[in-house]
Amino acid sequence: MATVFLKGMVIDVITSVAGPTVNNKSLEYYKGLLTSETLKSIPRNTAIVKTISAGAGKTHGGEVVCYPFFSSHFCMPLKPGEYVWFSYENPDDPGPIAYWFSRLSETNHVEDVNFSFSARSFKQPPKKAEKRTSDKFDGPSVEPDEIQTYSWGSPTSDPQELGQTIEFARKIHRFEPVPRYSKRPGDLVIQGSNNSLIMLGEERGHYAPNPANVIASSNKNDIPVGSSAIDIVVGRGKFGATQAKQIKNEFGIPENDKRVDSVTEGDAHFPTDAARLYLTANSSEVNASYHPDSLLSINLPSAAGRSVPTTNEAGSFSILKSDNLRIVSRKTGSIRVIKEPTPGKADGAGLIMHPDGEMRLAANKFVIASYNSAGATEPYVKYTVLVDFLNSVMTDINTFCTSLTTAAGSLAASANPAGPVPGAQAAGATIGAAAATLQAAVVAKSGQLKTAALGLGSTVIYGE
């Protein structure tokens, strides 16, 4: 019986049927390899490979058109220069097309979620040798940039083909170091080639907010029942203990130094991840080794009468952290952020943006303060109360001015032996007129106080 699974080196990938291939060849070129007109309608994500099983690539240079084995619901990553598993529908009687399954799983010094250099063999030890104590003191204080040197050999009959294929890959694929991720046995993990990851499993993470303090892996099994979690994260290990050591290979391409293994490499960690969405069904112990982060117990900004909790607010959590956040509804939609009230109590809160543009804030108590201020203890002025107060003050001032004018007239006519009080009547009249004008501006009729008059009443924000 013929071999069922074959190994092949990918030389091209058809990502689009509307233009040239990754290797900049016309789709018609590969259609010419197929005898059936039906099969010439090549689907997206088709790989063009050369067989390398049992040294076949050295003697057989033919190209094989490999349709994706999985339907378009599940598209696996694949780049030119990588090795792939493929098979024919009938291995004993190969037809015009084959089907590729996935990239090969390689040994630890080769396997890389970004790009696996499967033709690699070592020129140097798989593990870095420890420096002698004398070398540590006699050598340079800072190690120079290291170059990962390996022996290379094209598995095909053309010794230059592998290098040329990788150069093609560099035009359409971003080579970069991606930290390796250690999963639990029960986790389902999906990784992209460029540091994007989805984990469906159980709660995990690091409580230490300082990356330098992350010394143990979050890949723990001592977690309570019911702690299911979904972790969606991009940009793991930007710095700190979760970052992978980086070097360059002969192509000048940066990659992980696979001779160095770290128990914390690639772990999701809120302080060092570029962006992360974390969902957990149950979290309750802030200092547990599996605890994802102090964000679960955060209570900021600080406020008078409130303190940061010493333990986590137990329960399920949804946490989103990134450099920038955007929440956008379409023009006919709405946004609602609700804290449900306890039955029978007025402890609910909500932010509601209605489709007509009205935004409503609802809460038992509002506190507006600077982020780390313990103040915000003075209440804001109520608009209607302030208007009533000013109206009353102006009435009193006007009454006083009227009395002053009358008294000044009497005083000027007879009561003052030294003669009239100079300007008393005129001053009283001026103050009275000003008070009457001001009073008219603060007439407390609903909605009639104009911003142009005193600026006390907003035309868009309304409260009690």
pLDDT of residue 138 exceeding 50, the answer is no
Looking at residue 104, what is its pLDDT? 95
Q: How many angstroms separate the CA atoms of 152 and 154, rounded?
A: 7
Last residue of a domain, one of 92, 122, 152: 122
Confidence (pLDDT) at 181: 94
377 within 8 A of 304, measured Cβ to Cβ:
yes
Please report, rounded to a whole number, the percentage of residues in the chain having pLDDT higher than 90.
30
* 66 within a domain of the structure (yes/no): yes
Question: Is position 87 within any domain?
Answer: yes
pLDDT of residue 435: 72
Q: Does any domain span residue 128?
A: no
CA distance 290 to 208: 11
Question: Considering only CA atoms, which of 223, 218, 189 is closest in space to residue 205?
Answer: 218
Whether the per-residue pLDDT at 139 is higher than 60: the answer is: no
pLDDT tens-digit readout, 189-246: 999 999 999 999 988 877 666 777 777 777 766 677 778 999 999 999 888 888 888 8
pLDDT for residue 336:
95
Q: Could you read off the pLDDT of 244-279 as tens digits, one per residue?
A: 888 888 788 888 888 888 888 999 888 889 999 999
355 and 413 co-located in one domain: no
Q: Is the distance from CB of 43 to CB of 68 less than 8 angstroms? A: yes
Query: Is residue 309, in this structure, part of any structural domain at all?
Result: yes
For every residue of 346-390, DSSP letters joined together read: S--EEEEE-TTS-EEEEES------TT-S---SPPPPHHHHHHHH
Residues 306 and 220 placed together within one structural domain of the fold: yes
Which H or E run includes 401? helix 383-410
* Final residue before a domain boundary, out of 103, 122, 141: 122
Question: How many angstroms separate the CA atoms of 47 and 12, rounded?
Answer: 6
Whether 8 has a pLDDT exceeding 90, the answer reads yes
- Helices (H) and strands (E) counted in the chain, each on its own, are 6, 17
Average pLDDT over residues 393-422: 66
Task: Give the mean pLDDT of 149-176.
Answer: 85
What is the arithmetic mean of pLDDT over 311-324? 81
8 Å CB contact between 154 and 162: yes
Is 139 within a domain? no
What pLDDT band is residue 393 in, cutting at 50, 70 and 90?
Answer: confident
Check pLDDT > 50 for residue 167: yes
- Same domain as 309, residue 390: no
Range of the domain at 356: 330-370
Amino acid found at 262: S
53 and 111 inside one domain: yes
Percent of the chain scoring above 70 in pLDDT? 70
Inside any domain, residue 12? yes
pLDDT over 80 (residue 153): no
Q: What is the average pLDDT score of the chain?
A: 78
| Predicted local distance difference test score (pLDDT) of residue 427 | 67
Which of 13-17, 113-117, 260-264, 376-380 is modeled with the greatest confidence? 113-117
371 has a pLDDT exceeding 50: yes
Q: Are residues 366 and 387 in the same domain?
A: no
Report cis status (omega within 30 of 0) of the bond before 301. yes
Q: How far is it, in rounded angstroms, from Cα 274 to Cα 285? A: 25
In a domain, 433, yes or no: yes
Q: Tell me if 168 is assigned to some domain.
A: no
Please tell me whether residues 422 and 358 are part of one structural domain: no
- Closest C-alpha to 168, from 24, 9, 14, 26: 24
Tell me how many domains the chain contains: 4
User: Rounded CA gap, 287 and 100, in Å?
Assistant: 46
274 token code pair: 């570029």
Reduce the DSSP state of residue 84 to 3 states and report it.
strand
Residues 335 and 318 in one domain: no
Q: How far apart are CA 246 and CA 147, in angstroms?
A: 10
Same-domain status, 342 and 433: no
pLDDT at 387 over 70: yes
> 192 and 318 in one domain?
yes
Q: What is the pLDDT of residue 28?
A: 77
Confidence of residue 147 (pLDDT cuts 50, 70, 90): low
Judgement on whether residues 287 and 350 belong to the same structural domain of the protein: no
Residue 209 shares a structural domain with residue 315: yes
DSSP symbol at 129: P
The single-letter code of the amino acid at 346 is A
Check whether residue 79 and residue 21 sit in a common domain.
yes
**Confidence band of 457 (pLDDT split at 50, 70, 90):** low
Looking at residue 137, its pLDDT comes to: 40
Q: Give CA separation, 204 vs 213, 270, 314, in Å.
A: 16, 11, 15
Q: Say which residues have a Cβ less than 8 Å from residue 67's Cβ, sequence separation at least 6.
A: 42, 43, 46, 97, 98, 99, 100
